[in-house]
Structure 1
Amino acid sequence: MARTSPDRYIARVLSRATRKPVGVAFAAGDRHVVTCAHVINTALGLGDERTADEPTGAWIEVEFPFAADSGSRVTRMAHVVRWMPREGLPFEETDVAGLELEAELPPGVEPATLVADDGPCGERRVGAWGPNRDSGPARAGNVVGTLAGAYDAARLQVDVDLRGSFRVQGGYSGGPVWDQGTGQVVGIVQAVPTSGRADDVYVISAATLVRAWPEVLYRPPPNPYRGLSAFTEADAPFFFGRADFVTELVTAVEERPLIVVAGRSGVGKSSVVAAGLVPRLREQGSWAVGSFRPGDDPMTRLIGAVAEAAGLRLPYPIRELQAWQDRLAEGGPAAVARYVGVATGTSRLLLIIDQFEQVFTECGPDQRAALFDVLNRLVAERPRSVRVAVSMRTDFHWLLTEAPEPLGSYAKEHWHHLRPMSAGELHLAVTGPARVAGDVTFADGLAEQICDEFKGRPAELPLLEFTLTRLWELQQGRSLTLRSYRDLGGVNSTLALYAEERFGVLTPAQQEATRRIFTELLQPGDHEIARQIRRIDLRSDDWPTAELLRDARLLAITTAAGGDQIVEVAHEALLRGWRRLADWAALSQDFRVWKAGVIADRQRWESNDREADQLLRGSALAKAVEMVAGHAADCEGVAEYVTLSRLNADRERAERHNPLFQVAASRLARESEAVLHTNVHLALALGVCSLQSAPTAEGEEAVRRALALAGPVHRRLLHGGAVRSAVFSPDGHWVATAGLDRTARVRNAISGADLAWLDLRGPLQSVVFSPDGTKLATADADGSARVWRVCAEADIARLEHKGPVYAVVFSPDGNRIATAGDDGTAQVLGGGLLRLDHDGGPVWSVSFSPDGGTVATAGEDGSARVWDAWSGAELVRVDHGRRVWSVSFSPDGGTVATAGEDGSARLWKTESGAERVRLDHGDVVYSVTFDPGGGRVATACADGVARVWDAATGAELARMDHGAWVWRASFSPDGGRVVSAAVNGSVRVWDAATGREHARVDHGGWVWSAVFSPCGSRVLSASEDGAAWVWEARAGLTTEELITQGLGRLAKNLTEAEWQHHMGPDVPYRRLREDLP
């Protein structure tokens, strides 16, 4: 480090009576000076020993002999603010005074830096100044010596060199003693021994000075915690808690070419690779390392990472990037590794792809396919010279498993699941960095309290790390205190409070710019997934605010291989932890989703040489025109695209009035219908061509029918075993799933992103949200039912059965749960525990009445019963004669519906048990549910048919044939549709009035449940195949929406032969989608 000149900080303390120096001092801050307490006494004429009255507040004159204006005497008045001969302590051991100047330090004077007195004794050379010495080449009055070590608890001893005429004597007291090598202050002169030996001097140590005046003198060691940033290779000394997992990865590197690390957002995936795996590999061999995030152009970024590994520095020359791209294309990853080795002298190459989920959220199909080609070649050739480490979120891992072979199968078999830390690992991650960075300690119980509070958020390490970062900044001495932790708000509030604090100091214009910037950085459709944007995608006048937010640690700004500046949130934890962002996202959701979509359309248009086929049409164009008109300043980048689309639409509209287009459209619709049941994908393509020729009723119907048979787009939510239960939250934003892998999971209904992951002791049978969506109830085969706070991942209530628990439900007010168990009982928990005995075998189903006053149960003994939900008294018993599978109340509570093994479903009066209607089937009836109005019921039967019945008359209104046992059937929220689930893996959506099929999906095994979302637009199904699917089930799509969905579901383009056969030889061939074969 550069040496600091002592004249920059030396000062003299002047006598109040004579204005002559009586001691020395040093500048310790912009307005602070340190000296000995007894020097202050001398200056005030109080003698050099402790007096009864401390001189705190007294004014002292201080001179700066080496100030820039050396032609005159430079002084400042200062008052005593710190006095450290503490009561009960020897004066000589706490002889410290702190002064605060009335004005800032004069020009040319700078504060000193202190250094702990932990150097080797007998080796550190030090110096000191006397009070009456002037500056000059010889530095007269400069005393030098050797730091001999500690004399007592507060002081050091210096052995002064006995040469020259200068000795430490009266007037030297209070002067700084500095390290000759660095100029840093190690203490202040306090006294010479009473023996009078001039070669020994007592020095009050820097550590004692800091203890005396920590708020001014303490300089904490560099912060070892990373805030919202991931740990990097340089941070490896401070990376704790993942030793076992890193060892697992190191072993994998020796055996496999591709290392896939998957975990929940915030669990530490990036850090474990960069600060764990990379340093370990470097210890064991000669590695070159490059890393990148895919963004929207993964191949360009991959080449940039290779250039980084080869030792190039930004900005990378275009010619060099092209050369690396050619090497990759010609020789694959192995060739690239050879060239990197030649450039760097290393033997192996590691490429890190961080946040790999961006391949699915930000990349187009062509870019994604290009990267998959590279990874497929890596997996197939398995060169020892190169390894690729991928970190990604678990909720996107299933998409990688469906990549082209052999990559998909490889990713399914070879991946490393990074789970939340154990209690011991977490404690080490909290305390280890502080110990290594500077032996900083936690107050008693603080580390344990932090760990306890964090247990409810095990996948939010950035929140923990940010809290520790802020706590470090507020440390007292070398201690992290409980008071500071409480002031910060604890793990759960620190980040949000900090973000609000930083937001609050911005001007109104900057706050509005902050809103625009952050909403651009949110993934459209999901405000808890971040995306990267380029500087050019921001308003130019918002850039200064972006830089302010970077300095405030809320944003990260980096430079990509091509020189673009890339902006992103510091971490996705900010999206979950700062409520203001969620509010902004809700207000701007429509615009954000639209803009992201139209940018993707524009990029596709540009990559296809601006062909007219890629321009906007129909409702998409109308929406774009409306958005550009209302948000002109935010749409500069897409304005040209929208304008050209509008002009093209005007031209096409004029052409469509030609009757020939109407005739062609009708003909194509008929041909679509003709091949529907033999080639659904051809039918879909012909239907789309029909609507693109001219909008007709026949064309719309052709596309609707083809979409129904082709199956809707879905989000696949994986478990490690069969999924027995899946439900939407009351607001439809989340789904909860329960599986035989002993986990219950809560995920975003759109993105699949994890919110909570509950590990239980037994396979799960049922899961349900509370009416307000804040709690979950689970039932498992080990005999437990538990209630959880959705975000806490710790149960808040539980009850036990003596066998598997088959069902659990919340009361309408959410304050109680009811369960059905294999032990022949139902139980009600809330305000006490009720046990409802069925006497004769398992209870299969349980339901609360709409008012919460009664509970209905269905059992193996052939009976269904109604109980008082408060007292447990049995009110009504009805008999099927054989097992009763299902029981439910009508919306008004006046009727109970049951489904039985006797081949019937029955409706009973709740109060009396009198049978109102009997609905006979040809086989076992597994479920019965009411529609929202209570006028109809839907049943699911083992004869392969789902049916809709009139609840008053028992008349069959609609029949829906599955062709296999139907396990569940239920209505949509508006009552217009029915979803049914069968044991053959099929789920179908039907028109409740006509029985006509609207949509279907096919799972790979028994479908245990299928329900509509609260808005009715989606269906959630859970299957034996280890997955729950969220899929679109809307009816009434517009023509443009039908075209869009039809194009989205195409498996391949029409061949030229098919095109000529159906379109005719006079219509030029074109591909419906450029990304399909």
Structure 2
Amino acid sequence: MNNQARVKTILLLAANPRDTSKLQLDVEVREIDEGLQRAKKRKQFKLEQKWAVRSRDFYRAILDTQPQIVHFSGHGAAEDGIVLENEMKQMVYVQADALASMFKLFARKGVECVVLNACYSEVQAEAISQYVKYVIGMNKAVGDEAAIAFAVAFYDALGAGLDIEDAYELGKSQMMAFMEHQTPVLKKNELTDVSTTFETDVIPPNPYQGLSAFGEEDAAFFFGRETFVNELLQTIRKQPLVGVIGPSGSGKSSVVFAGLIPQLRSEGNWLISSFRPGNQPFYQLACALVRLLEPELSETGLLREAAGLAGDMQQGRITLQQVAYSIKERNGGKRLLLVADQFEELYTLCQKEEQEGFADAMLAAISQENLTLVFTLRADFYSYVLSYRPFRDALQQFTPQLLSSMKREELEDAIALPAQKLEVQLEAQLTQRILDDVGQEPGNLPLLEFALTRLWEKQENRVLTHQAYDEIGGVKKAIANHAEEVYQQLNESQQKQAERIFVQLVRPGEGTEDTRRIATRAEVGEDNWGLVSYLAGYQARLVVTGGDLTPLPPFPSREGGIESPSPRRGGVGGEVSFAQDTVEVVHEALIREWETLRKWINANREFRTWQERLKVGLREWKNNNHDSGALLRGVPLTVAEDWLHKRTEEMTQEERDFIQVSVRQRKRRQQFLVFGLSGVFAVISGLGGFSWLQWRQAQQIQIGQSEALANYSTELWNQDKKFDAFIEALRSAKPLRSKDNPPLQVVATLLNAVYNVKERNRLQGHSSGVSSVAFSPDGKTLASGSDDNTIKLWDVATGKISQTLTRHSSGVSSVAFSPDGKTLASGSDDNTIKLWDVATGKHSQTLTGHSSGVWSVAFSP
């Protein structure tokens, strides 16, 4: 016991937020670790390493490890504080008073030395030194290499048995080569006792998550789901496929990331990576795999390798099981776990072909037992998964874990235990009051967390009060009240912008609830992005922004210059930016509870429902290499023109272009038709004006090709090939474009073709408008799709209906024959594609997955 008591824990906290210049923190941590490993007094020290990007990561790591020495590596900015991130991944400063308040508590728990290896951190060191005996800070900007030299020498000295003051002097000496040996400052305070009272005006960091899911780093404050997590843990050990399925807001992501994964990592024999499918599921999967394959890759290298791997997997050149096998081989046979979070994105953002291809890739891999797949799925998308037979069969074999509302005692733990861990109390009966308001609705969990987050900010003397709870509007109204408060603080112009933004972040439900969607910067409007940034900020927290990382030149520093190749630990430059910015509402609870947003959705429902259908048509057009057959036509085009006129500012440039190209295509078709008919009628009307003499003169000239074509046309006519005869007759009229007069034989043939063929091929039988027609490859059968919900097959030779196909429940928008003519495909406004056997007219298959009408169908060659 005495030997154990002498062991000191050193906690290395490293932070390099995304919008700050890149530091060599991994080098610093590694060299400190290596130095301690070979030190004479190694057994006297225990080294813990944590990436503490957020404020809550900072204090949670100290609470979890109970260190005697805390070492922070990162950026600092004098009075502004050390640089971390908030929950929205935006850069924030933690000021001296907040750090001092934390370390007043931590000193009671054994912290005796703090090293702030960041620029201008002397201000924070001075504040902390009131409560901690030894604190080291930097009195100016410090270079990255000099900072590393100081840290390595400091811990080498401790490992050799020197005390903190001697270690400090050795560290300074190693900075002389960089002319920075006067930069570190040691604050020493001869403390005999630390007061057990707290500053009542300083609020400790918030342990609740608001509308965000608990992450792996939040595990120490995740309470209430222990039973479910234990069951999930047992299932993971028995099944290669585990679905965590539950309603929106039931905590699916939290139980996986804050509950399951920390326990698996503690076992030491798991490799774990996670991804969200998004609209590029193979690419997102590839990113997760490359992180395991090559963990040392730079962000640029990750992007490049992931793009190549995604293409190979999608084309079948490399399989997921092959990649999984390679990962396991490189890691001594450890078990591989992939987590596909928010799996419903596969069905809301991807086409059916990609959905099935991705599912096939995942199912093939788990069948080889090379990996374990966990996916979280919203319950209202369960039918989408079951509609694909291979996936349905897999879920029948590997039972999913169903997550519902938390029991009352579980909710009580989620409320009380995080506060208790930070020594904050709830007033008598407040917990019970909150529980009564939460009820048993599964979607209320994020609202509870958000209410607790707001309540925490209003605590008095480390007590959460009934009065504060009344002020925030309770559980159900907290998020709505907060959103309305943010909205009312906007000026009139910004409020209009807010409506424009939020209606694009909601996908109108068609038979389901309205759901959130990820919108691009273009979709919400470039001019509105400044407001988006504010709404995503720490004070608003109503939306979440993101995007695909792409390397860019360094950002300007705060002083206006460009960061140097060896960055300083006070810079706020960066190395990455977003190629395509995106935004989404912070949680679907906002859609349900905020009345103003509900009004916006209902007022814009017709437009947004149509716009989502337009996006489907646009994707089909792009996927078909801008084939004119996939353009809008008929009634859909007329409707699109109307919306373009009314709401053009709310469409992306791609959407506007799609409609305008469709309009131009329609004009070309009309012009072609008018030109063709004009030519025919000109021929017919001109015939009566020919005199016998003119005919005799023309006859001497008009022989050859025209007469040959006319003879061929007559021959076809006699063979009952009247449609072919009509075509050849029109070809024989080509000389009429010249000044010469046509031969009588050509005129007679043309007249016969125009009058007779026209009458014998007029097809009538539909009870409503015809939206699409297609000829079979042999030209003998014509298929027509109509708004009367039917498809009719016609015998071209007789013009008679041979079959009527009647399985669609809405208008038929498109028909197409397979290259061999044996199968007919039809697309309908009932959101389905049906396949038919042409010979029998029987329906053979229904393809589902579209969320709106199908405007175009086509077979591959």
Secondary structure of 2:506's aligned partner = coil
Confirm whether residue 555 of structure 1 aligns to residue 540 of structure 2: no
Q: How does 1:110-509 map to 2 (within 5 A)?
A: 113-114=100-101, 115-116=103-104, 119=107, 124=112, 207-208=196-197, 210=199, 214-215=200-201, 218-220=202-204, 222-310=205-293, 311=295, 312=297, 314-315=299-300, 316-323=302-309, 325-326=311-312, 329-341=316-328, 347-379=334-366, 381-383=367-369, 385-405=370-390, 407-413=391-397, 414-436=399-421, 438-509=422-493
Cα distance change on mapping 1:124 and 1:1051 into 2, 3 Å: closer
TM norm structure 2: 0.57
Confirm whether residue 1073 of structure 1 aligns to residue 857 of structure 2: yes
Deviates more, 1:522-531 or 1:448-457: 522-531
Cα distance change on mapping 1:233 and 1:646 into 2, 3 Å: same
Secondary structure of 1:460's aligned partner = helix
C-alpha displacement at 1:485, in angstroms? 1.0
Task: Measure, in 1, the Cα distance between the counterparts of 2:519 and 2:111.
Answer: 55
Q: How does 1:506-545 map to 2 (within 5 A)?
A: 506-525=490-509, 528-545=514-531
Task: Measure, in 2, the Cα distance between the counterparts of 1:248 and 1:356.
Answer: 21
Q: How does 1:65-80 map to 2 (within 5 A)?
A: none
C-alpha displacement at 1:496, in angstroms? 0.8
- Residue type of the partner of 1:376? L
Task: Measure, in 2, the Cα distance between the counterparts of 1:462 and 1:331.
Answer: 40
C-alpha displacement at 1:295, in angstroms? 2.7
Cα distance change on mapping 1:488 and 1:320 into 2, 3 Å: closer
Aligned residues of 1:441 and 1:478 also touching (Cα < 8 A) = yes
Task: Measure, in 1, the Cα distance between the counterparts of 2:131 and 2:322.
Answer: 62
Residue 621 of structure 1, aligned match among 602, 620, 637: 637
Confirm whether residue 646 of structure 1 aligns to residue 660 of structure 2: no
Residue 1052 of structure 1, aligned match among 823, 835, 844: 835
Cα distance change on mapping 1:116 and 1:629 into 2, 3 Å: same
Cα distance change on mapping 1:1072 and 1:593 into 2, 3 Å: closer
Cα distance change on mapping 1:464 and 1:561 into 2, 3 Å: same
Larger radius of gyration: 1
Task: Measure, in 1, the Cα distance between the counterparts of 2:525 and 2:595.
Answer: 24
Task: Measure, in 2, the Cα distance between the counterparts of 1:498 and 1:254.
Answer: 43
Task: Measure, in 2, the Cα distance between the counterparts of 1:500 and 1:455.
Answer: 24
Cα distance change on mapping 1:1075 and 1:143 into 2, 3 Å: closer
C-alpha displacement at 1:245, in angstroms? 1.3
Name the structure with the higher helix share. 2
Secondary structure of 1:559's aligned partner = strand
Task: Measure, in 2, the Cα distance between the counterparts of 1:111 and 1:253.
Answer: 41
Aligned to 2:622: 606
TM norm structure 1: 0.46
Deviation string 1:725-758 (CA, Å, 9 cap, x unpaired) is: xxxxxxxxxxxxxxxxxxxxxxxxxxxxxxxxxx
Cα distance change on mapping 1:354 and 1:555 into 2, 3 Å: same
- Residue type of the partner of 1:605? W
- Residue type of the partner of 1:616? L
Aligned residues of 1:327 and 1:336 also touching (Cα < 8 A) = no
Secondary structure of 1:113's aligned partner = helix
Aligned residues of 2:792 and 2:804 also touching (Cα < 8 A) = no
Aligned residues of 1:620 and 1:1040 also touching (Cα < 8 A) = no
Aligned to 1:10: none
Aligned to 1:591: 607
Cα distance change on mapping 1:668 and 1:506 into 2, 3 Å: same
Deviation string 1:674-710 (CA, Å, 9 cap, x unpaired) is: xxxxxxxxxx9934289999999999x9999744xx2
Residue 580 of structure 2, aligned match among 564, 567, 582: 564
Task: Measure, in 2, the Cα distance between the counterparts of 1:117 and 1:475.
Answer: 18
Q: Could you say what the CA RMSD is over the residues aligned between the two structures, in angstroms? A: 4.7
Task: Measure, in 1, the Cα distance between the counterparts of 2:788 and 2:808.
Answer: 20
Aligned residues of 1:685 and 1:1046 also touching (Cα < 8 A) = no
Secondary structure of 2:262's aligned partner = helix
Task: Measure, in 1, the Cα distance between the counterparts of 2:131 and 2:541.
Answer: 45
Name stretches of at least 5 consecutive residues in structure 2 with no aligned partner: 1-10, 14-77, 80-94, 115-121, 135-183, 551-578, 678-753, 771-780, 816-824, 842-854
Secondary structure of 1:568's aligned partner = strand
Cα distance change on mapping 1:704 and 1:548 into 2, 3 Å: farther
Cα distance change on mapping 1:612 and 1:113 into 2, 3 Å: same
Task: Measure, in 2, the Cα distance between the counterparts of 1:578 and 1:703.
Answer: 56
Deviation string 1:866-895 (CA, Å, 9 cap, x unpaired) is: xxxxxxxxxxxxxxxxxxxxxxxxxxxxxx
- Residue type of the partner of 1:556? V
Aligned residues of 1:435 and 1:441 also touching (Cα < 8 A) = yes
Task: Measure, in 1, the Cα distance between the counterparts of 2:253 and 2:644.
Answer: 38
C-alpha displacement at 1:571, in angstroms? 0.8
Name the structure with the higher strand share. 1
C-alpha displacement at 1:318, in angstroms? 2.6
Aligned to 2:3: none
Deviation string 1:966-1023 (CA, Å, 9 cap, x unpaired) is: xxxxxxxxxxxxxxxxxxxxxxxxxxxxxxxxxxxxxxxxxxxxxxxxxxxxxxxxxx
Cα distance change on mapping 1:230 and 1:686 into 2, 3 Å: same
Cα distance change on mapping 1:333 and 1:254 into 2, 3 Å: farther
Task: Measure, in 1, the Cα distance between the counterparts of 2:228 and 2:782.
Answer: 49
Q: Aligned pair count?
A: 556
Secondary structure of 2:243's aligned partner = strand
- Residue type of the partner of 1:240? F
Task: Measure, in 2, the Cα distance between the counterparts of 1:662 and 1:600.
Answer: 39
Deviation string 1:131-182 (CA, Å, 9 cap, x unpaired) is: xxxx9xxx9xx999979xxxxxxxxxxxxxxxxxxxxxxxxxxxxxxxx999
C-alpha displacement at 1:654, in angstroms? 5.0
Task: Measure, in 2, the Cα distance between the counterparts of 1:611 and 1:394.
Answer: 37
Task: Measure, in 2, the Cα distance between the counterparts of 1:553 and 1:1075.
Answer: 47
